[in-house]
Structure 1
Amino acid sequence: MFLNHNEEPNFSINRFESMLKTNDILFFDSIEFENIIHHYLDLGKLSLAKKAIRLGLDQHPQSIQLLLFKVEVSIMENKLGDANQILNKLEQIEPSNEEIYIQKANIYSKRDDHKTAIQLLKKALKLSKDSSDIHALLAMEYMFEEDFDNAKLHYMACLKDDPEDYASLHNVIYCFDVLGENKQAIEFLLNYLDKNPYCEVAWHQLGKAYKKEDNLEKALQAFDYALLADEYFMGAYFEKGKVLEKMNRIQEAIKNYQITLELEDPSAYAYLRIGKCYEKLEILDVALHYLQKATTEDPLLDKAWLAITDFFFRQKNYRKALYFIDKAIEIDQENVRYWKLYAKINQKLNFLEEAEKGYKQSIELGNYELETWVSHADVLIEIGETASALSVIKKAAEFYPETEEVIYRLAALYFVNNKGTLGYKYLVKALEVNKEYLPVVYPLFKTIFDRPSIQEIIKSYQ
């Protein structure tokens, strides 16, 4: 009795592998070869898929589908010229086959010619009866082009075909986000939820969108609906906790963060949020305990090291703060905020050369805030590097030309560096901008502002 291959799903695969072992040549119809190739590609067994394609084309040299498999594998191996050559021949034979244009688009996409890929996919879309996959490919090409409006439309088309395509749902919201269309995102999600009221992912995204609008009550309600749809949805508990924090409902926030710890393995970020909550409640020993647990759980979570730094900075324990900001900087040496805090801590400890290094690094990383320029110049003045201080404050004046903090320092530093003409010029300008600011900056330049000639000018503005 012969076993029909339809009675045994693995019959063709077993028969094919047996043939490879014995070197016998057995006949398979083209559909059997297609199933065999699909099987090996799904398993990532490329060499066996290639053998099946070669043997399949030996027996069925005109099979369009087998040739398309050969194209697919050639593209995987980056043999784009070979793949394109086959596709050009196939297009002459069967110009209405959308798969030909999909694979051509794949080649152009790999060559970073996304505009041509889009045109080819549009052609495939006109030919296809099942358009969902092509819409997804088009959306991705538009994403490469940073054309988020069109990408959004094609992801929406994917959702129309399959409302449970949550990857497309996330991508639609991402497009709204990039375009700054938060209100439109809310409208879209509300319409989607009218038709899919039990979709926890959509409720979660709606909650995040309401949170951006600072509509905390509606955000909270949306996260609650997400949890009604899925009581184990960790992300919804976490976002709900963040909203409750903003609403100053700290105990409830802690409860939601703790639920996330019960649902999955401990999360350093959950420990971090719990620690910050206890700090807001001024239960400092418990706060520090959770912040330290965050660093133990994930030693590379620089935000946790920063949180402990802030904790000790607020307690005026600057030596411990310095230890922990060093940890944060070890992890992320390009973070402007860390370097600025490093500078402030060293300044509090009177480690002025280290403070100067921190302010300098902050500016080099693109922090052009007035406070950073002024603090950097003041530290340089304290360590006696007045020429460097003048250079810093002159750069600050390019950003803040009419600001009293800058103009008074510019005047004083010109006097210090024996450039009296410029000193008088900027002193007059400073007094005209804001004469009330002089007492603030006076202690830093007492010997300068006490000069009789300068006092005479100052008195003329009183």
Structure 2
Amino acid sequence: MEEEFEFNNSEEAQQSIKRYEEMIRNEDQYFFDSQAFEYIIDNYIEKNDPVKALQVIDFAVSQHPYAAVFLIKQAQLLLFTNQVNKALKALEKAEMLEPSDADIYVLRGNIYQSLEQHLLALENFKKALTLAETTDDILLQIAFVYQNMHDYENAIVYIKKSLEQNMENKDGLYELAFCYDILDKQEESIIFYKEYIDNDPYSFAAWYNLANSYHKLDRFEEAIDAYDYAILIKENFASAYYNKGNALVQLDRYNEAIEVYRQTFEYEPPNADTYCAIGECYEKLGEMDEARSYYKKSAKMDPKLADAWFGIGVTLNSEERYFESLHFYKKALELDNENADFWFAIADAYYKLGQIPESIQAYDKVLEYNPVDVEAWLDYSTLLYEQGRLWEASETISEAIKNNPDAVELYYRMVAYLIALGNSDEAIHYLEIALNADPDKHYILFDYLPQLKENHLILEVISRFIK
């Protein structure tokens, strides 16, 4: 916990500082009471001059050897200047003089926390709890230690205790949201935030975190309502507008999302992420010129935002400008080389340009980074099939099924390839698996190979499952 120094600008404080500086110039020794020394020390801290502040403390300790306050300030400054061992020694002396001063244990807890000695940090913070008059910040410090130990259950316990004492502590609410998120306990977090709001209905942070919890559970309508309450309480809450926009996107309400994203510009400068989000909305609406305009704004503002470059590529692809789209896909890939979506788009662009070897290499990358992308497996196998590489196409689908055993589309596709290979028995085996899983999707087979509508063996098997 960082000590907040409040510099006293009173006439008494100014006289003390003036007198101290006169003493230094004269290379003399004046006596100052402890209050005057505190004024002088805080003056140098205010001026961000820890070296001079430490010099004053040396004088203060020599004149007031039993005042623990100076040793505590000395420890704070030594810690600030990375003299950790000296800081700990100063605190040892302070503890001998004033063992009931909670600040000693809080500061020592912070030191041990910075050294990642978590158990010693906990020991000191918990000692401080027994001594301090107000403990909400200390409880939060204990929660941080537990977070660093990856013990999020205990962190939640202490954050809640802190919030019981100080419901205004927004940091506590956000840390609680983080812990619930890590533990994937969104339902539990919703219960907590609702109870919190019952006690403090005007807490914009509680409404915001409640909305985020709904959002993570795909309860987008409820999330939007909660974001609206947060915005009602804090009109300039840009993050709430942005997340509300994201929730609207999930509901395909793109025009509304654009308006909400734009509202963030009233309360904070436009940023690359928001421009990119607006671009994506226009893309979904099929307004590719507008989409490209916003993606370009995003990329110009943050050239390292891969999604912006990718978005430009998508808009060009939609206009069948495949060669141009490749250029932007590759720029995106330079920034995020393991993004399966980028590789998929590149594979498709190469395919449309007739550059089959390059397309195959890109599909290999897609499936390396995302082996559960069923569409990628299907498209890759189609490419191989069209090249007359029937056995490779069937092997590709076999590998796809290993990675996606519940994807019925793959089984129907395997039937088509096995029939093409003349392997009717195995084709029927896969067809029966597919029909058992989802008979209504048998049309997939005929969509891909219409000639199978004339295959009596296939039709006979299907008729056993379709009444």
| TM-score normalised by structure 2 residue count | 0.77
Contact 1:98 1:127 in 2 (8 A): yes
Are 1:58 and 2:55 an aligned pair?
Answer: no
Structure 1: segments with no counterpart, 5+ residues: 416-422, 444-457
Q: How does 1:423-462 map to 2 (within 5 A)?
A: 432-434=429-431
Q: Which residue is equivalent to 1:355?
A: 359
Partner residue in 2 for 1:419: none
Query: Do structure 1's residue 322 and structure 2's residue 319 form an aligned pair?
Result: no
Q: Which deviates the most, 18-27 or 129-138?
A: 18-27
Letter in 1 for 2:106: I
Deviations along 1:249-276, whole A, 9 cap, x unmatched?
4433322222222333222333223333
State the distance in 2 between where 1:37 and 1:297 align. 44
Task: Indicate the SS of the match to 1:127.
Answer: coil
1:254 and 1:291 map into 2 onto residues whose CA distance is 14
CA distance in 2: counterparts of 1:167 and 1:267, whole angstroms:
24
State the secondary structure of the residue aligned to 1:10. Answer: helix
User: CA offset at residue 243 of structure 1?
Assistant: 3.2
In structure 2, how many angstroms separate the alpha carbons of the residues matched to 1:363 and 1:442?
24
* 243 and 130 in structure 1: CA distance in 2 versus 1, 3 angstrom threshold: same
**Conserved 8 A contact 2:398-2:414:** no
- Quote the residue 2:103 is aligned against: 99
| Alpha-carbon distance change, 428 to 51 in structure 1, aligned in 2, over 3 angstroms | farther
Q: For the Cα contact (< 8 Å) 2:412–2:430, is it kept in 1?
A: no
SS in structure 1 at match of 2:130: helix
Corresponding residue for residue 158 of structure 1: 162
Aligned to 2:77: 73
The alpha carbon displacement at 1:125 in A equals 0.9
- Answer yes or no: is 1:301 the counterpart of 2:337: no
- Which amino acid letter does the alignment assign opposite residue 134 of structure 2? D
1:20 is matched with which residue?
A: 24
Structure 1 residues 258-303: Cα deviation after superposition (integer angstroms, max 9, x where no partner): 2222333222333223333333433333333233222233322222
CA distance in 2 between counterparts of 1:15 and 1:221 reads 61
The residue identity in structure 2 corresponding to 1:122 is K
1:178 deviation in Å?
1.7
Partner SS state of residue 256, structure 2: helix
* Pairing of 1:34-433 with structure 2 (within 5 A): 34-365=38-369, 367=371, 369=373, 372=376, 399=403, 404=411, 432-433=429-430
Task: After TM superposition, give the deviation of residue 142 of structure 1 in Å.
Answer: 0.9
Equivalent residues, number: 436
Point out the more displaced range, 137-146 or 89-98. 89-98
8 Å contact kept, 1:408–1:441: no
Query: Could you list the runs of 5+ residues in structure 2 that have no partner in the other structure?
Result: 1-8, 433-441, 451-457, 463-467
Please give the per-residue CA displacement for 1:323-346, whole angstroms capped at 9, x wherever unaligned.
Answer: 211121122223232223222322
Q: Would the aligned equivalents of 2:292 and 2:311 in 1 still touch at CA under 8 Å?
A: no
Go from structure 1 to structure 2 and tell me whether the alpha carbon gap of 1:250 and 1:15 turns closer, same or farther (over 3 Å shift): same
Q: Distance in 1 between matches of 2:305 and 2:77?
A: 41
Q: Which amino acid counterpart does residue 165 of structure 2 have in structure 1?
A: D
State the AA in 1 paired with 2:234. D
Structure 2 CA distance for aligned equivalents of residues 27 and 288 of structure 1: 72
Residues 353/125 of structure 1: CA separation in 2 closer, same or farther (3 Å cut): same
The one-letter amino acid of 1:107's match is: I
Matched-pair contact (CA < 8 Å) for 2:71–2:93: no
Conserved? CA contact 1:394–1:410, under 8 Å: no
**Structure 1 residues 35 and 298, CA gap change in structure 2 (3 angstroms):** same
Letter in 2 for 1:187: I
